[in-house]
Amino acid sequence: MNDILVSISCLTYNHERYIHDAIESFFMQKTNFKYEILIHDDASSDRTVEIIKDYEKKYPDLIKPIYQTENQFSKEILVDEFNVKRAKGKYIAVCEGDDYWLDPYKLQKQVDFMENHPECSLCVHAGYVVSAKDKKILRHNRPSRTSRYLQVEEVIGQGGDFFVTNSMFYRTQLDLERPMFFQIVPNITDYHLAINLALQGKVYYMDEFLSAWRNGDDASWTSSNMHHIAKKRAHYRQIAEMLDEINRYTNSQYEQVIKWKKDMTELELLIEERKFKEVKKGMYKELYSQLGLKRKAMIWMDEYSPAVSNFLRQAKRSFVKWNMT
C-alpha cells in the first residue's frame, strides 16, 4: 500500500518533557499501511521545537511539522485545523504532544475495524489517565465494560472526558467542514469534534487500554484554568451556548439530553462552590439523586468533614494502581 492511510495529528505547546514519548509511541506502531505524523507547534517557548526538528532531520518523509511564531490558541483559533486541512490520510488519529500510545498495534486495530465498518465515523478505546510527573496511573478512563457502539446521547451527555482524546480515530472527510458550534468554544475541540462525528455516523468503543493521557501538566489549558471557579463558570457558560447551538443544528432531536447535561454541569459547579444546600433542593434535587453513592459520600464529607475528605483524596492519589477490570 503506497498511499498514506492514516494522518497522526499531534498538537504541541511547551511539551519538551513529553514530546519524545509521544513521537516514540508513533514510531513503535506496527502497521501494514503508511502513515504520516503531522505536528503543529503553537510557538513553544521551551525546547519543544528543537526536539521536533531533531526528529524531522532524521525522518523528513514521516515528520511533517508546522512551527508557529505567534501563538494561535490565544487568538481563539481552532489549532487542530492546521493539521486536519493538510492531512493526506483517509483517517486521522489524534494524540497531543503531552500524551502517548501504549499498544504497538493501536493504529492497526482501529484501521481494521473502520475499514470493515464503513458506517462508523469514529473509533475510540479505553485509556489510562496518568500523572504528568511520573506516569503513575491516576484512574482508568473506560466508558464501558464491553466493546460496543456508543449512542449520540452518551457522547453529548458524558462530556469531553467520556473517552481519552488520544483514543480518537476518525474519517478525515467528515471533519473538513465544521458546523458553527465549533466556533463557540475554540479552546476545547475534542468534545464538539466527538459530537459532530457522532452525528454523522456510528461511534465504536474498543474496550482495550491502548493509550495514556497525562493529567497535571502546567502547560495545558485545563490545568492552568479549570482550577479557578470563576474561569470554570465562564467556560461552562460557553459549553452551554455550544449545546444550545447543537440543539438548533439538530432541530431539537437531542433536546432532552442537552438540557440534562446543562443542568448537571450547573449542579457540579454548585458542588465545587460548596453550595451544598442548594444542590439538594429545587430543580437540582432530582439531579442530585442521580449521582452515584460514592459521589454522594464525597459530597457529604466535603460538607461535614472536609479534613477527612481531603485525606481520602490524597490517599487515593497515593494508591493509584488499582484494578477496575
- pLDDT, mean of residues 155-166: 94
Least confidently predicted of 68-82, 159-173, 211-225, 302-316: 211-225
DSSP string, 69-84: SS-SGGGT--TTHHHH
Please report which confidence band the pLDDT of residue 306 belongs to, taking 50, 70 and 90 as the band edges: confident
Between 187 and 54, residue with greater pLDDT: 54
**In whole numbers, what is the pLDDT of the chain averaged over residues?**
90
Q: Retrieve residue 229's grid coordinates.
A: 471557579
Give residue 6's pLDDT. Answer: 99
Domain 4-215 belongs to what topology? Spore Coat Polysaccharide Biosynthesis Protein SpsA; Chain A (3.90.550)
Predicted confidence at residue 260, as pLDDT, reads 95
Instruction: Quote the pLDDT of residue 225.
Output: 45
pLDDT recorded at residue 296: 83
CB atoms within 10 A of CB 250: 17
Q: What is the pLDDT of residues 104-150, one digit of tens each?
A: 999 999 999 999 999 999 999 999 999 999 999 999 999 999 999 99
Higher pLDDT, residue 243 or 312: 243
Would you place residue 220 in the very low, low, confident or very high pLDDT band (cuts 50, 70, 90)? low
SS3 261: helix
Domain with CATH 3.90.550.10 in the chain: 4-215
Residue predicted with more confidence, 187 or 66: 66
> Is residue 230 packed enough to be buried (19+ CB in 10 Å), middle (13-18) or exposed (0-12)?
exposed
What are the pLDDT digits (tens) for 287-296? 888 888 888 8
Q: Is a pLDDT exceeding 80 seen at residue 319? A: no
> Nearest-CA neighbor of 128 among 155, 147, 107, 100?
100
Max Cα separation, the chain? 64
Predicted local confidence at residue 187, as pLDDT: 77
Residue 83 pLDDT more than 90? yes
